Structure 1
């Protein structure tokens, strides 16, 4: 079979494997405890994010632009957990290490899309906090439902189009080497490095997508909080600064949970064992969807009031009129 030429426009025969083998967690000691964590993280994520979405949908007081972004984050976490965790448990707990070529590309597309939307949604929430503190009197003019929905829709389109392009460039590769993917899912970088023809375009895309969905959002979030800190420094009293900063604690917690393992992995990339790198990179995909609804329930005053109101309605005795 003729190998794939690096040039476009020629008659090309693709060499595509019938399946890939995902070997990321194979051979790691005590991984059964990690699978238990995955299972409980999945269950908590499903119930927690469904509860947050239901609460926002049912309470008219939560129909604000901020909670449009919170609803979308819960939606993304729900879809991301559903796309990733059951398949990972099936692969490593039930020893189904092989995955077909098409299923692997589909697995990659949805996992990358939902993981990317998590970081981009944090940008939408940072925009909301920035406008609320920098322009409190004009907040309702600058942050509207239309603006927030347009921003989120743009993020969704960007994520889907960029990952479709990435999948498209994977389909132009031929595989005549190993079919073993040394990751916990169909990782883009691990896939194109198995190709036996020129994968330079995939290399470029593999570096561009993280820049746009990880590092650029992190830079925007950091810039927004530097601006918030500068604005709070001008506030007259310490109590007012603390009160304003408390409105950001939930969002800051989400940012820390998502980015901290990633930053550790990239900072220690050359010194970290490959197995430790795989486990560490899996944490942002598993833990944030579990903790995000808990953080918002515990640290967001509006959701606390909504839950209290809902409990009062349920406890309110029925009054019969004769």
Structure 2
């Protein structure tokens, strides 16, 4: 944990550059975006929870994604909105460590969840006769436990390595706290952290990417060979949705990590890329899944109609 001296320090996040005339519009815009993210993700969560026909491995794995997305958005938006109102970019060192920890838990969680979902679709499409045997409740529990255990273990070690350092700077070079920006506060050798961080990037970016490439190549091969157009269309639609969501997160994350390691990248580009990781996936994921997966779209529509009609009946 941070030293007592560190814990008393106030750090300064990068300025938002919002003029006095734009504070109110920025506050309203940020609040609306956050509320939309929470509403859409909660809608997906609740729909999966209450609709029994969605209690299948695919949707149970998907259930974890809105949880992770809401975590990422909640770590970022409330503090950002508070900063807009107060015009203060100060944050305590413990709060900064907490924010950075949860930001990385969110990013890692999304990558692992999407990898597990790709594996589920691979079994469903390439080995349909063995699907219920392989993706049984016991296996499903082990997959979900592994996702969060691996996630929390890797990120906990990453931030335990920060405990060795005394900080000699107070300016965070990003709009929010994260591992690279925290390392830049240290006045000691950060080689161990950098090597571990690089190993995490290789494992957490390369691992999911390898799983996605392999499973989707096999799925594509199976879809091409199948003589059932409806099954092929449904498989491509579902897998296309997963692939779009994965690419949004992967491209955002990779570009952000590269921007932190290349000094020639402009600070504004680095900040925008960093913020995009916490804005676009949580905002787009529930919309993409809600619109593109037929079973989920129908269940959401039915759930909303049922609740709207019951609330109208109660008023009468």
Band of TM-score, shorter chain:
0.7 to 0.9
2:242 corresponds to which residue? Answer: 251
* Post-superposition offset of 1:182: 0.3
Runs of 5+ in structure 1 lacking a partner? 1-12, 317-322
TM-score (ref. length: structure 1): 0.83
Residues 146 and 34 of structure 1: CA distance in aligned 2, closer, same or farther (over 3 Å): farther
* Aligned mate of 1:277, from 263, 270, 273: 270
> Which has the larger displacement, 97-106 or 270-279?
270-279
Would the aligned equivalents of 2:101 and 2:178 in 1 still touch at CA under 8 Å? no
Structure 1 residue 117 displacement after superposition: 0.5
Residues 50 and 179 of structure 1: is their aligned pair in 2 closer, same or farther, counting only changes over 3 Å?
Answer: same
SS at match of 1:20: strand
Match for residue 222 of structure 2 among 227, 231, 248 = 231
Residue of structure 2 in register with 1:10 after alignment: none
Q: 2: distance between equivalents of 1:209 and 1:146? A: 28
Q: Which residue of 2 is the match for residue 304 of structure 1?
A: 297
The offset of 1:208, in angstroms, is: 2.2
- Counterpart mapping for 1:124-273 below 5 A: 124-176=116-168, 178-236=169-227, 240-265=231-256, 272-273=265-266
**Would the aligned equivalents of 1:128 and 1:143 in 2 still touch at CA under 8 Å?**
yes
Contact 2:12–2:172 (Cα < 8 Å) also in 1:
yes
In 2, the alpha carbon distance for the partners of 1:135 and 1:262 equals 32
Matched, 1:286 2:282: no
Q: Distance in 2 between matches of 1:50 and 1:18?
A: 36
- How do 1:45-194 residues align onto structure 2 when only pairs under 5 Å count? 45-92=37-84, 94-176=86-168, 178-194=169-185
Distance 1:249 1:103, change over 3 A: same
Give 1:265 shift.
4.9
Higher helix share: 2
Distance 1:108 1:266, change over 3 A: closer
Choose which of 6, 10, 19 in structure 2 pairs with 1:19: 10
User: Which sits farther off after the overlay, 84-93 or 262-271?
Assistant: 262-271
- CA-to-aligned-CA distance 1:65-110 (integer Å, 9 cap, x gap): 1111111111111222112211123235532212111111111111
Please point out which of 295, 300, 321 is paired with 2:288. 295
Q: What is the deviation of 1:26?
A: 4.3
1:309 CA drift (Å): 4.1
**Secondary structure of the structure 2 residue equivalent to 1:228:** helix
Contact 1:18 1:100 in 2 (8 A): yes
Q: CA RMSD in A?
A: 2.8
Size of the aligned set, in residue pairs, is: 302
Residue 193 to residue 267, structure 1, CA distance change in 2 (3 Å): closer
Q: Could you tell me how far 1:31 is from its partner in structure 2?
A: 8.7
Matched residue, 2:314: none
C-alpha change, 1:125 and 1:35, in structure 2 (3 Å) is farther
- State the structure with more CA Rg: 1
Question: How far 1:307 sits from its partner (Å)?
Answer: 3.4
What TM-score do you get using the length of structure 2 for normalisation?
A: 0.85
Range 78-87 or range 126-135, more displaced: 78-87
Determine the C-alpha separation between the residues in 2 that align with 1:291 and 1:126: 18
